[in-house]
Chains A and B, each alone.
Chain A
Amino acid sequence: MRNYSNWKWAVAAMVIVVAVGGTGCKKKASDPFPASDAVAGWQKTSETRSFAANDLWQYIDGDAEQYISAGVVTTSTSDYKYQGQLEATVDVHTMKDAAGAKKILETGVTNDAKKIALGDECIQYAQSVIFRKGNSLVRIVAYESTPETPQALLALARGMEAKL
């Protein structure tokens, strides 16, 4: 009789744990896009737009094919501006697994790419930073090349990496 009572309490506890877990106590997927001024000098200048794999062509046309074949699940994008002047676009591709992110990052890397210690792998060009962390691939592209561009992009990249 005493054993039966313990068993009942154990089942009740499990039910509570499952119910709580399913109603909001689960860790929420974090939003990797920093809010304005979360990274010094950077303002978020557009809403975040998200595309499922099937709709990715609406954003990047035929380029979608290579992401789909690498297992993209969703792509989100937003525009930023640094110190009111330098404009940039940030794309976050969430892949099925880390191998997909690695495949895209390594596609077309050129000799002038500079390796940076960030996330699982990161490369930088004069006007862009691309890094991967887990199953996420992030590409930050600036529309102008100024002396400040590389450092500004890297700061934004670090801000995003910390949120992934």
Chain B
Amino acid sequence: MESRREFLKAAATGAVLLGSQSKLALAAALDQHAAAGKSKVVVARDAALHSADGKLDEKRAQALLDHAIATYTGHDKPVEAWKQIVPVGKAIGLKVNGLGGKGISTHFALIMAVCERLQQAGVKPGEIVIWDRNARDLEACGLTISTDPSRIRCYGSDVAGFEEQQESWGMARVRFSKILTRDCAMVINLPILKDHSGAGVTFAMKNMYGVINNPGDLHPNNCNPGVADLNCIPVVREKVRFTIGDAMTSVYDGGPGFRPERLWQPNALIVGEDRVAVDQTAWQMIERKRAEMGMPKLEAVGRSPRYIATAADAAHNLGTNDPQRIHLMEV
């Protein structure tokens, strides 16, 4: 019988192999920017995404997703575009974020839009796992718990449990959710953009705090280097390969909880493979909003998200935070 250590090793190897395959598919579509040595990040916006009374238009959210993915992959047809992103016949996890409660969680409309396109691209319903820390977080996103293997599954680590084997990188000593290690071959990251009272900004990389048993241990020093170290652990680095960041609604201060007085609707999706470049782009979006509202920069209030630069350094090498090396496409 396979030991837990062997299982984790195999899981990590599988992730590397899958990562290579997936990389090939993505690389084919992305040769242009890859050749230039730049990380592509797409920011897709729709000013009419919310109605005057603040309601999200679900059809426009679907269209916005298609626009973002088409721009990213270079394929106008959504199904063809998605085939570049996901492998067929593998379980795909969608890591959402419902920690902030129902007012500031990954939007249900976005999650459903991704599920629809995944299925059209050939992923079977039972191969899709929507997940987060627990039932409460998922319910905050408007989701209902389901473990029926014939349908899209939706459950938290409170159901699946955590590996007993601890994994480490730098200061991160963590046990992973079995949803990440066992139930998903690839994870699409669906964070929601928020100001964060400790980290400064929470988006792609910080969302991985929701896949471990002890996120509280990684919060000291503005989550630096905690966020970067956690993302360096192979099972995260290799399996979590694509971010579709929800910046349709955000909080520019007072996060990560729901603060309606600091709520803002950027009406955007931020998409990319390079998690560092995605976070760098998201951070600048928050800074611009804070400046517009007459608020100090995060640096000035001791909350600069320094973990982004750490993630880009030679030791971590998770991506780039250099604007010169980010091919930013705003559409």
Interface positions of A (Cβ within 8 A of B): 54, 57, 60-66, 87, 89, 108, 110, 112-113, 125-128, 141-143, 145
- Complex contact A126–B215 (CB within 8 A): no
Tell me if B's interface is mostly helix, strand, loop or mixed: loop
| CB pair B215 A128 closer than 8 Å | no
Closest CB pairs A-B (n = 3): A127-B260, A62-B198, A57-B216
With A61-B209, A61-B256, A63-B256: A145-B54 Cβ-Cβ less than 8 Å: yes
In Å, the complex CA distance between A61 and B99 comes to 8
Q: Pick the contact of A60 from B257, B260, B262 — CB < 8 Å?
A: B257
CB distance from B136 to the nearest CB of A (A): 9
Extra contacts besides A60-B256, A108-B254, A128-B259 (9): CB < 8 Å? A57-B216, A61-B99, A62-B198, A89-B101, A126-B260, A141-B259, A143-B103, A143-B258, A145-B54
B219 contacts partner chain A, Cβ-Cβ < 8 Å? yes
The contact of B219 among A65, A113, A128, A141, by CB within 8 Å, is A65
Q: In the bound complex, what is the Cα–Cα distance between A70 and B127 (angstroms)?
A: 45
Max chain A CB contacts within 10 Å: which of B54, B99, B256? Answer: B99
What residues on B are CB-neighbors of A64 within 8 Å? 216, 219
Neighbour of B260 across the interface among A65, A108, A128, CB < 8 A: A128
Which of B209, B255, B261 gathers most chain A CB within 10 Å?
B261
Within 8 A of A (CB), among B79-110: 99, 101-103
Given the complex of chains A and B, what is the CA–CA distance between A143 and B262 in angstroms? Answer: 13
By a CB distance below 8 angstroms, the chain A residues around B254 are 108
Are A108 and B219 closer than 8 Å at their CB atoms?
no
In the complex with contacts A89-B101, A108-B254, A141-B103, A61-B260 CB distance below 8 A: no
- Given A57-B215, A62-B198, is A127 in contact with B209 using a C-beta cutoff of 8 Å? no
The interface bits of chain B over 46-61 (1 if a CB of A lies within 8 angstroms of the residue's CB, else 0) are: 0000000010000000
**B199 beta carbon closer than 8 Å to chain A:** yes
Q: How many A-B residue pairs have CB under 8 A?
A: 61
16 A-B residue pairs with Cβ-Cβ distance under 8 Å, sorted by A, are: A57-B216, A61-B215, A62-B219, A62-B223, A63-B196, A63-B198, A63-B256, A63-B257, A66-B197, A66-B198, A87-B102, A89-B101, A110-B261, A125-B260, A125-B261, A143-B103
Chain A residue nearest to B196 in the complex (CB)? A62
Most chain A C-beta atoms within 10 Å of own C-beta, residue among B103, B202, B209, B255: B103
A145 in contact with B223 (CB, 8 Å)? no
A65 touches B198 (CB 8 A): yes
Within B208-233, the residues touching A (CB, 8 Å) are 209, 215-216, 219, 223
Contacts of B219 in A (CB 8 A): 57, 62, 64-65
Q: Is the CB of B197 within 8 A of A65?
A: yes
Q: Indicate whether A128 sits within 8 Å of B261 (C-beta atoms), given known contacts A89-B101, A108-B253.
A: yes
Q: How far is the CA of A57 from the CA of B259 in the complex (A)?
A: 17
A contact residues around B101 at 8 Å (CB): 89
* A residues less than 8 Å from B256 (CB atoms): 60-63
**Alpha-carbon distance between A66 and B219 when the two chains are bound, in angstroms:** 12
Q: How far is the CB of A63 from chain B (nearest CB, A)?
A: 5
Write the nearest CB–CB distance from A33 to chain B, whole angstroms: 17
Name which residue of chain A comes closest to B53, CB basis.
Answer: A145
Question: Bound state CA distance, A128 and B263, in angstroms?
Answer: 12
Chain B residue contacts of A142, Cβ below 8 A: 260
Residues of chain B with a CB closer than 8 A to A62's CB: 196-199, 202, 219, 223, 256
- The CA of A87 and the CA of B142, in the complex, are separated in Å by 14
Please indicate the chain A residues that have their CB under 8 angstroms from the CB of B103 in the complex: 141, 143
A3 and B255 alpha carbons, distance in the complex (Å): 68
Name, among A63, A87, A145, the residue most crowded by chain B CB atoms within 10 Å (CB to CB).
A63
